[in-house]
Amino acid sequence: MLINNLAYEASAGSGKTFMLVVRYLSLLFKGAEPSKILALTFTNKAANEMQERIVQTLEELEHRGELDEIAKVTELSREYLLANRKRVLDEFLNAHTKIMTIDSFFTKILRKFSLYASLMPDFSTFSSQHELKLLSRFLKEVSVAGKKETLITLSLQSNKRLTDIFSLLDEFYIKFAELKHIEFKKQDYREFEKSAMGSLEELKNIISLCKDASSTAIKSVEAQNFEELCAKAWIGRDTLEYSTFKKCFTPEMDTLLFKIKEAIREQNRAKEQNFFFAIKELVDIYAKSKKALYMDDSELSFSDVTYLVYEILNLLDDSEFLYFRLDAQIEHMLLDEFQDTSILQYEILKPLINEITSGKGIFDNGSFFFVGDVKQSIYRFRGGVSALFDVVREQNNTDVEKLLTNYRSQKEVVEFVNRVFEQRIRNYTPQLVRDGADGGYVEVVQNDELLEEVVAQVKRLLDMGAQINEIAVLCATNGDGQEVEGALHEQKIDVVTETTTKLINQNSVKAVLEYLKYQYFGEEIYKENFYALISQQVRPIKRADFNKTTILDIVKGAIEEFGLFSDDFNLLRFLSAISLYSDIEALLFEYERMDVSAAASELNGVRVLTVHKSKGLEFEHVIVIDRLKKVPPSRDAIIYEYDAILLKNIYLRIKGRDGVDEEYAKALLKEKALVREDTLNALYVAFTRARENLFVVLKSKDSMFDILELKKQVCGNLVCHGADKTGEEKSITPLEYTELYYGTQSDILSLEKVQDDDLRSINFGIALHYMLEMLPEFDIASIPGAKAMMINKYGDILEDEEIEDMQRRVEMLLDSSEFLSLIDGECYREKAIRYKKNLKYIDLLVRENSKKGSLFASWNIIDYKSSFSHHEEHISQVGSYVRAIKEITAEDAQGYICYLLKDSVKISKI
Ligand SMILES: Nc1ncnc2c1ncn2[C@@H]1O[C@H](COP(=O)(O)OP(=O)(O)OP(=O)(O)O)[C@@H](O)[C@H]1O
């Protein structure tokens, strides 16, 4: 049965994402419109995967485990589902689906309401803010507001560097909504210091008058100043009646102790108030600087987006208006990894969820669904509060179901995880092992030479035939990751890390960037770097003129001239990415922030990543390595005390304060419990990534696994069987669907070797291609626009009758029923594909609307020509396109040459 308001709270690998896909498809089969289903994830990767999983599941429905689940949920028969999946898939592919990250969704809302925030709708988002720009802007604003003193005092008082203060400001900025109800007052704290020192004097007197006072007792009450007094160990005691003072003890001493403690407590509180008061003042300036920066640059970080959307929603009290502006189109909401949602994010989603679950108004048939695992909540530092899961469930009266079987891991791994966490994580329900998963291997090794051990285990796996891409080493920090990377490199083992996966760090891309730097700056060093990276002899490079040529053409020219296109997708991605940069300066000064990763298929090596980054992923073999360095003491200056999801209070961390302030002591205890929970959760995430084999490498002292009291152990048999499977997967590479722009066909044609002597007919051909490319739709109404664009570009080299001739030819083409039948499907113009180390450009690639009952699509490859000359060459060229598409998609493909002749259109099938 399809329960309208449902959540799955279930452990790792139990199929939450699986059930999310089942839910999405069940909604589709029940007739929901794809464009009315909002599915939110945390990462782009997860959003893309979900999209792909939906398509793949529909395509292979009869063989998928999802089929029975969907039948159960929808109460529709398997036959009905199979008979209707084609229709559902078509609807899905043709709809504007809303499967995206929570950040993109908020960005979308902000674009709709951008003018409320004095922004232009075309603002851009970057995951990392221009820290330096912001810092300098902030300092300027601080100076203008006359708050330099505040900043300096704050820094001195808290013993923090400016950058630390800066992150505190950011923390406050993000939590501004939650902090709104808390007031801070400026206070004088010196009177409390005086009072404490006064009471100390009295205490000293009592001790000095006591004949039996030991030298330790006398020394214990000596303090030159307030700080020294606070550092005394006896301050934390309830009474002074203990060994040191026993011989002189009088009840008056405890009265003084009490007074001193009270004075210290009040001094701490006053200091805390001043600190937060100053921070709040500075946060206003910080927010102002941020605003100035995004108004100047139209550039926002995701936290800015969330902040602004929240503010705007508060401005608009008419929520109907919000839904109207959101196209009133969200009837179903699905949320993934709900445990990581921040309170602010939930506050923004709340009105939508309320509408959906209240079952009235425009959301009469709406539904709400979320999945998560509180045990995997590891983003407390980003504002995620795991209690949110329960609160949301209660607030919305959501049914919660459990999933008890682990579908990811083998028995040994599942049972090890159960054993380790059952007694340690609250409400832990041991997972069941899936039928048939009775293998697996777990080894806990202790070796203080952590890196050596990791390298040895990786080698062992490789020797046993493990696929290198299926081995992951999970580390505590990025720094540790670098060391692991270094150690593996020393042994000539390839490694893939987050940095290596960045597109701009790929060799071919680095080379092109050096080339562009040489072109722009003219410094010899860049030329040398360029040649070193492409392993060619240094020779002169002709300087390009950026005023006359586009960056794209310069890069394409270099690719051609130096034969840079080897068998990799990275240059393709780079070409696509640079088309977004307005000019060479923007590219050269900003490329480091280019947030594009290299093609996964190009990356080969052991995956080295942090535990945090491993969330949601799974690997055949996982090695979790202990911290290489000692755990640093918590440096968080602020302790946030939550009551469920309500921020109750905040405290300034002060050493020894828990001995004098009960409230603070309670908050600190709560905080410690949460830190412990975070640590446990992170380890839980790490251990549950393994499908087959799990290794835990720990050290004998200060181990991050101490909390688990792990014993050295070996469970099960180590077996590696990934080799064949991966080999199989590799032979079929799915075609990339992303629309890419690498210039136009005409640009390429002009680069191609010209064999025709007739310049006029070449120009005519180029212009005709251009006009065809510029047609937004294949209909007569689109001709004038495309023609105007063509004239703009080629008008000066064409005669009037040639232009008329060209228009006639295009009209005839669009009138040809044969041509129109070939383009019935999804059309990709100017499609660049990579095949056998060559870059090919297909004029028009059509993914035909599938024939009834056929599981796979069929592709039409259409090449335009304006004359019959070089007919044989055309045939062989299109033939090679057909082979490429067949091989890449593993689907059927036909090639056609479309001759747009003077008086007719002839289509010849290859
Ligand atoms: N009911 C099921 N039948 C068959 N396979 C399943 C089922 N549920 C999940 N799986 C498979 O088990 C693996 C883990 O599932 P999934 O990724 O959905 O788990 P999860 O609960 O989202 O895990 P995590 O919390 O670690 O992200 C996947 O490979 C998935 O395809």
Cα separation, 61 vs 792, in Å, equals 50
Contact 310, 347 (CB under 8 A): yes
**What's the half-sphere exposure (Cβ side, CA atoms, 13 Å) at 702?**
9
In the 3-class helix/strand/coil scheme, how is 637-648 assigned residue by residue?
CEEEEEECCEEE
Cα–Cα distance for residue pair 86/895, rounded to 1 Å: 25
Nearest CA to ligand 1 atom 26: 12
Bigger pLDDT: 388 vs 462: 462
Query: Rounded to the nearest whole angstrom, what is the distance from the C-alpha of residue 625 to the centroid of ligand 1?
Result: 25
Burial class (CB in 10 A: 0-12, 13-18, 19+), 420: buried
Whole-number Å distance, alpha carbon 28 to ligand 1 midpoint, is: 21
> Which residue ranges are tagged as binding site?
10-17
Average pLDDT, the chain: 84
When pLDDT is cut at 50, 70 and 90, the band that residue 580 belongs to is low
Q: Which CATH superfamily is domain 5-117+304-403 in?
A: P-loop containing nucleotide triphosphate hydrolases (3.40.50.300)
Residues annotated as binding site for ATP?
10-17
> 205-240 b/e with 16+ CB inside 10 Å = b?
ebbeebeebbeebeebbebeebeebbebebbebeeb
Which tens digit of pLDDT belongs to each residue from 288-346? 888 887 777 667 777 888 888 888 777 766 554 555 455 556 889 999 988 888 888 99
- 170 CA distance to ligand 1 middle (Å): 36
pTM of the model: 0.71
Distance 15 CA to ligand 1 centre (A): 3
pLDDT score at 729: 36
Residue 23 CA, ligand 1 centroid: distance in Å: 14
Q: What is the CA(716)–ligand 1 centre distance, in A?
A: 23
Atom of ligand 1 minimally distant from the CA of 373 = 25
Do 605 and 494 form a contact (C-beta atoms < 8 A)?
A: yes
Structure tokens at 288: 């102002």
Is the CB of residue 850 less than 8 Å from the CB of residue 856? Answer: yes
Contacts 24+ apart (CB under 8 A), 769-775: 769/744, 769/745, 769/843, 769/864, 770/744, 770/745, 770/746, 770/794, 771/806, 771/810, 772/810, 772/813, 772/843, 772/844, 772/864, 773/744, 773/745, 773/746, 773/829, 773/830, 773/843, 775/810
Give the angle 485-408-615 at the CA atoms, nearest 5°.
45
Q: How far is the CA of 298 from the centre of ligand 1 (A)?
A: 40
pLDDT tens figures, 138-186:
889 999 888 888 888 888 877 777 778 888 888 888 888 888 889 999 8
* Ligand 1 atom at minimum distance from 17 CA: 18
Q: Say which range, 554-563, 707-716, 753-762, 798-807, has the weakest mean pLDDT.
A: 753-762
d(CA 271, CA 265): 10
- List the residue whose alpha carbon is closest to atom 4 of ligand 1: 65
- Residue 432 one-letter amino acid: L
Q: Please tell me the residue having the least CA distance from ligand 1 atom 3.
A: 65
Gap from CA of 594 to ligand 1 centroid (Å): 32
For ligand 1, what atom is nearest to the CA of residue 14? Answer: 21
Q: Whose CA is nearest to atom 7 of ligand 1?
A: 15
Cα–Cα distance between 461 and 205 in angstroms, integer? 72
Contacts of 105 (CB under 8 A, 6+ apart): 38, 40, 98
Average pLDDT over residues 115-125: 62
Q: Does the domain formed by 761-909 have CATH 3.40.47.10?
A: no
Question: How close is the Cα of 572 to the center of ligand 1, in Å?
Answer: 33
465 C-alpha to center of ligand 1: Å? 26
Q: 692-747: per-residue pLDDT in tens?
A: 999 999 999 999 999 999 999 999 999 987 554 443 333 333 333 333 334 444 44
Distance 14 CA to ligand 1 centre (A): 5
Q: Determine the distance separating the centroid of ligand 1 and the alpha carbon of 821, expressed in angstroms.
A: 42
Instruction: Tell me which of 11, 49, 408, 613 to substitute to probe ligand 1's pocket, judged by most ligand atoms within 8 Å of the beta carbon.
Output: 408
Condensed to tens digits (0 to 9), the pLDDT of residues 406-446 reads: 999 999 999 999 999 999 998 899 999 999 999 999 999 99
What confidence score (pLDDT) does residue 78 get? Answer: 95
Question: Tokens representing 407?
Answer: 């579908």
Secondary structure of residue 876 in the 3-state scheme:
helix
Pick from 287-301, 398-412, 522-536: least confident: 287-301
Q: Which CATH number fits domain 419-498+604-642+658-716: 3.40.50.300, 3.90.25.10, 3.30.70.60, 3.40.50.720?
A: 3.40.50.300
Instruction: Pick the residue whose CA is nearest to atom 8 on ligand 1.
Output: 15
How many angstroms separate the alpha carbon of residue 65 from the centre of ligand 1?
11
Cα 400 to ligand 1 centroid, rounded to whole Å? 18
Atom 31 of ligand 1, residue of closest alpha carbon: 18
Q: Decide: 384 and 342 in contact? Cβ < 8 Å.
A: yes
600 Cβ contact partners less than 8 Å away, ≥ 6 residues apart = 501
Domain coordinates in residue numbering, the chain: 5-117+304-403, 127-300, 419-498+604-642+658-716, 503-593, 761-909
Q: Report the atom number in ligand 1 closest to the C-alpha of 18.
A: 18
Q: Which of 72, 407, 618, 622 to mutate to test the pocket of ligand 1 (most atoms within 8 A of CB)?
A: 407
Question: Where residue 754 falls among pLDDT bands split at 50, 70, 90?
Answer: very low
Mutate to test the pocket of ligand 1, among 9, 11, 17 (most ligand atoms within 8 A of CB): 17
Q: What local confidence, expressed as pLDDT, does residue 730 receive?
A: 35
Q: What is the DSSP letter of 733?
A: -
Neighbours of 630 (CB within 10 A): 9
What band does 482 get if pLDDT is binned at 50, 70 and 90? very high
Q: Which atom from ligand 1 is nearest to the alpha carbon of 407? A: 12
Give yes or no for residue 257 having a pLDDT over 50.
yes
The ligand 1 atom nearest the CA atom of 685: 26
- Measured from the Cα of 20, ligand 1's closest atom is 18
Q: CB-hemisphere CA count at 13 Å for 569?
A: 18
Q: Candidates 8, 9, 11, 14: which one to mutate for ligand 1, based on the most atoms within 8 Å of Cβ?
A: 14
Q: Kindly report the protein residue whose alpha carbon is nearest to atom 13 of ligand 1.
A: 408
Round to whole Å and give the CA distance between 145 and 140.
9
Residue of minimum CA distance from atom 14 in ligand 1:
13
Looking at residue 606, its pLDDT comes to 95
The residue whose C-alpha atom lies closest to atom 12 belonging to ligand 1 is 407
| Edge-to-edge strands, sheet with 471-475 | 495-496, 606-610, 471-475, 619-625, 690-698, 441-446, 713-716
CA of 256 to the centre of ligand 1 (A): 63
Q: Which atom of ligand 1 is nearest to the CA of 376?
A: 25
- State the greatest distance between any 2 C-alpha atoms of the chain, in Å, as a whole number: 124
Q: What is the pLDDT of residue 527?
A: 92
pLDDT at 276: 92
Predicted local distance difference test score (pLDDT) of residue 362:
42
Pocket of ligand 1, beta carbon within 6 A? 10, 12-18, 65, 373, 376, 407-408, 616, 688
The β-bridge relationship of strands 606-610 and 471-475 is: parallel
Residue with tokens 């004359």: 867
Per-residue pLDDT band for 123 (boundaries 50, 70, 90) equals low
Answer for the pair 887, 734: CB distance below 8 angstroms, yes or no. Answer: no
- Within a 10 A sphere around the Cβ of 658, how many other Cβ atoms? 17
Could you tell me the two tokens for 264? 């210290």
Pocket test for ligand 1, best of 9, 14, 18 (most atoms within 8 A of CB): 18
| C-alpha to C-alpha distances, 220 to 235, 239, 254, 255, nearest whole angstrom | 10, 14, 15, 17
The helix (run of H) or strand (run of E) holding residue 94 is: helix 78-94
Q: Whose CA is nearest to atom 28 of ligand 1?
A: 408
* 735: Cα within 13 Å, side-chain hemisphere: 24
* Residue 638 to residue 171: CA distance in whole angstroms: 9
Q: How far, in Å, CA of 14 to CA of 147, rounded?
A: 54
| Contact present, 17 and 335 (Cβ < 8 Å) | no
Question: Are the C-beta atoms of residues 371 and 19 closer than 8 Å to each other?
Answer: yes
Nearest-atom number in ligand 1 for the CA of 10 is: 21
Nearest-CA residue for ligand 1 atom 5 is: 407
Q: What mean pLDDT do residues 749-769 have?
A: 65
> What would the pLDDT profile of 816-856 be if each residue is shown by its tens digit?
999 999 998 888 776 666 555 555 678 888 888 765 445 56
**Residue whose CA is closest, atom 23 of ligand 1?**
13
Least confident of 15-29, 215-229, 531-545, 779-793: 779-793
- Nearest ligand 1 atom to the CA of 616 is 27
Distance 7 CA to ligand 1 centre (A): 16
**Ligand 1 center to 12 CA (angstroms):** 8
CB 175 within 8 A of CB 383: yes
Ligand 1 atom, smallest distance to 403 CA = 21
pLDDT in tens, 764-795: 888 898 888 888 889 899 999 889 888 877 78
Check whether 572 has a pLDDT greater than 60.
Answer: yes
> Which residue has the CA at smallest separation from atom 25 of ligand 1?
12
- Tokens matching residue 739: 């629309």
Q: How far apart are CA 534 and CA 754, in angstroms?
A: 27
CB 264 within 8 A of CB 230: yes
pLDDT at 267 over 90: yes
- Report the pLDDT value the prediction gives residue 758, as an integer from 0 to 100: 67
Contact 739, 828 (CB under 8 A): yes
Residue 198 is classified by DSSP as: H
Please name the residue whose Cα sits nearest to atom 29 of ligand 1: 408
Task: Fill in the amino acid letter for 55.
Answer: V
Answer yes or no: is pLDDT of 467 > 70: yes
Residue with the smallest CA separation from ligand 1 atom 15 is 15
pLDDT at 741: 38
Q: Whose CA is nearest to atom 18 of ligand 1?
A: 15
State the Cα–Cα distance between residues 150 and 450, nearest whole angstrom: 46
Question: Looking up tokens 């597109």, which residue turns up?
Answer: 503
Q: Does 419-498+604-642+658-716 match 761-909 in CATH topology? A: no
Cβ(782)–Cβ(762) below 8 Å: no
pLDDT (tens digit, 9 = 90+) per residue, 25-47? Answer: 999 999 998 888 999 998 877 88
Radius of gyration of the chain (CA): 33
Q: How confident is the model at residue 360 (pLDDT cuts 50, 70, 90)?
A: low
